[in-house]
Chains A and B, each alone.
Chain A
Amino acid sequence: MREGEPLIQWEWIARNGDQIIGRLVQHIGLTVIAVGFGLAISLVLALLIYRRRALYGPLSGIAATLYTIPSIALFAILTPITGFGSIVTAEIALISYTLLILLRNIVAGLDGVPPDVREAASAMGYSAWQRLWRVEMPLALPLIIAGVRVATVTTVGLVTVAAVIGQGGLGQLILSGLRSFFTTPTYVGAFLSLALALALDVSLLSLQRMLTPWARVANVAAGPR
């Protein structure tokens, strides 16, 4: 940081609008891919667990181990394999981090379906598959979306770290500011990533309210109360 310089130079922001928006879009893209693939993988794993309960321990154990590895370490370990600055390197790590939260919440959601409801659905002639998709999944939706919210917010933060390996959307602004001792891009990157996390959190919350109007009360189990 240079002496006597304001923390934020507004005219730099005005001049670099395109770059900032480009980084923001990239950040959103990296986040959406990570949460999208993470959700798809977690759904498949949850269905396997639904079929064979004994798999829950080992699978969530693997997910928990991945989650415990610091992001920057995982990025660094993957770099020699999948390349520096490659989106694959970033996404493998980012997707890994979504699995624990998503898997836990999907399984908890499915577990939370009352046995009476399950029996009623079967008694009405639903096949196991129909029951899962038309009755159990919708009832599990509040917890699943709660998981998606946490995974999304987490991912937005982790994407900034991916700047260290040449990806990272808004993280690139943070890093370029740090390297040139110029606080403006650093602050722009940091504030926008925080704002993005909050904005996505709020949008997913309203999506959940819209999709599951019956579950206003049931939103307790997942989020901090």
Chain B
Amino acid sequence: MNELLAWLSDPAHWSGSDGIPVRLLEHLQLSGPSVLVAMLIALPVGAFIGHTGRLTLLAVTIANVGRAMPTLALLVILLPFILRAGLGLGFWPTFVPLVLLGVPPILVNTYVGIGQVDRDVREAARGVGLSGWQVLTRVELPLALPAIVAGLRTASVQVIATATLGALVASGGLGRYIIDGIALQEAPRMIVGAVLVAALALAVDRVLAGVERRLAAPSTSLAVERSRMAASNLVK
């Protein structure tokens, strides 16, 4: 404990390229864009599948492979290809797998959320003369929003966790402290990294849980519960 306090009170650990603020920022710079790009891919595809009911097999397959794929395995399988593409160590070898990991929870929750919109509601929307696109954007997506946020939450936590593993393929972020701490047998460094990553994941989870609860009208809470179940059934 004293060692830990000594490590934390050393000003050298608060500035420079290996300082806590920089590492935290690097972690966010890896995770944030990954989730964003995953969202840009998953949302339209999930909405298409949910709205048309076509390609559901694709959604199920993505969900299952996403669930079974060990995150570390994905990271290392892609690494040689990313290096061969000339993208170099650092950002890309972590970013690409993170995007791929973020897609399944958002895609599945979008598709399940839209699929669970009440048939009567959908038919009523059609009946008052809305076009297919309008039904999707004005009825289905708003009703599926809590479920989509739930998927975003699962994806974000997963991406933050896996960004830590990026340190194994030489990316920055808080994982550096853990991996370097283990390599140097420097327990305080390792623990500081671990606690910061855990705190970051829990904080993001809490914030998005709050958003989810705000969005969930009583009528949609069942859909949220179901999609939350589908989401928790995805691998970390």
**Which residues of the partner chain A approach B108 to less than 8 Å between Cβ atoms?**
224
Query: Which residues of the other chain, A, contact B162 by a CB distance below 8 angstroms?
Result: 70
Please count how many residues in chain B sit with their CB below 8 Å of the partner chain's CB atoms: 51
Q: A68-B157, A72-B165, A164-B182 are in contact. Are A77 and B191 (CB under 8 A)?
A: yes
In the complex, the answer to whether B68 meets A171 with C-beta atoms within 8 Å is no
**Residues from 42 to 79 in B contacting A, C-beta threshold 8 Å:** 56, 59-60, 63-64, 67-74, 76-77, 79
Within 8 Å of chain B (Cβ to Cβ): is A190? yes
B67 touches A153 (CB 8 A): yes
Cross-chain contact B198 with A224 (CB below 8 angstroms): no
- Decide if B190 touches A223 in the complex (CB within 8 Å): no
Whether a CB of chain B sits under 8 angstroms from the CB of A52 is no
Cβ-defined contact, A80 with B187, below 8 A: yes
Q: How distant is the Cα of A105 from the Cα of B78 in the complex, in angstroms?
A: 34
| Binary B-proximity of A142-173 (CB < 8 A = 1, otherwise 0) | 00001000100110111011011100000100
Identity of the chain B residue whose Cβ is nearest the Cβ of A70 in the assembled complex = B161
Please pick, from B72, B157, B169, B202, the residue contacting A161 in the complex, using a CB distance under 8 A.
Answer: B72
Interchain CB contact (< 8 A) of A157 among B70, B197, B201: B70
B194–A77 touching, CB < 8 Å = yes
Q: How far is the CA of A174 from the CA of B232 in the complex (A)?
A: 27
- Chain A residues with CB under 8 A of B169: 178
Q: Which residues of B contact A160 (CB under 8 A)?
A: 70, 72-73
| Cβ B190 vs Cβ A100 within 8 A | no
* Contact-size category for A: 35 or more
A178 to B73, CA, bound (A): 11
Stretch binding the partner chain, chosen from A11-19, A34-42, A119-127, A191-199:
A191-199
Could you say which of A65, A104, A153, A183 contacts B68, with CB atoms under 8 Å apart? Answer: A153
Given contacts A7-B80, A80-B187, A153-B68, contact A222 B236 (CB under 8 A): no
CB distance from B190 to the nearest CB of A (A): 5
B200 to chain A, nearest CB (A): 9
Pairwise interchain contact A74-B194, C-beta atoms closer than 8 A: yes
- Most chain B CB within 10 A, of A1, A222, A223, is at A223
Contact with A along B63-103 (1 / 0, CB 8 A): 11001111111101101100100000000000000000000
- Binding-face segment, B121-129, B131-139, B142-150, B173-181: B173-181
Chain B, residue nearest A79 (CB):
B190
Within the assembled complex, what's the spacing in Å between the Cα atoms of A72 and B190?
A: 10
* Residues in A184-209 with C-beta less than 8 Å from chain B: 186-187, 189-191, 193-194, 197-198, 201
Pick the 6 closest A-B CB pairs, nearest first.
Answer: A70-B161, A157-B70, A190-B73, A76-B194, A224-B63, A73-B194
Give 18 A-B pairs besides A7-B80, A80-B187, A80-B191 with Cβ atoms closer than 8 angstroms: A1-B79, A69-B201, A70-B201, A72-B164, A73-B193, A79-B187, A153-B67, A156-B68, A157-B68, A157-B69, A165-B182, A178-B169, A189-B76, A190-B73, A221-B229, A224-B64, A224-B67, A225-B60
Taking beta carbons and an 8 Å cutoff, which residues of B are in contact with A?
A: 56, 59-60, 63-64, 67-74, 76-77, 79-80, 83, 108, 112, 157, 160-162, 164-165, 168-169, 175, 178-179, 181-182, 187, 190-191, 193-195, 197-198, 201-202, 205, 229-230, 232-236
The 19 listed contacts between A and B (C-beta, < 8 Å) are A1-B80, A68-B205, A69-B198, A69-B202, A70-B160, A70-B161, A73-B194, A73-B201, A75-B194, A76-B193, A80-B190, A80-B191, A101-B233, A153-B68, A157-B73, A157-B236, A194-B70, A221-B229, A224-B64
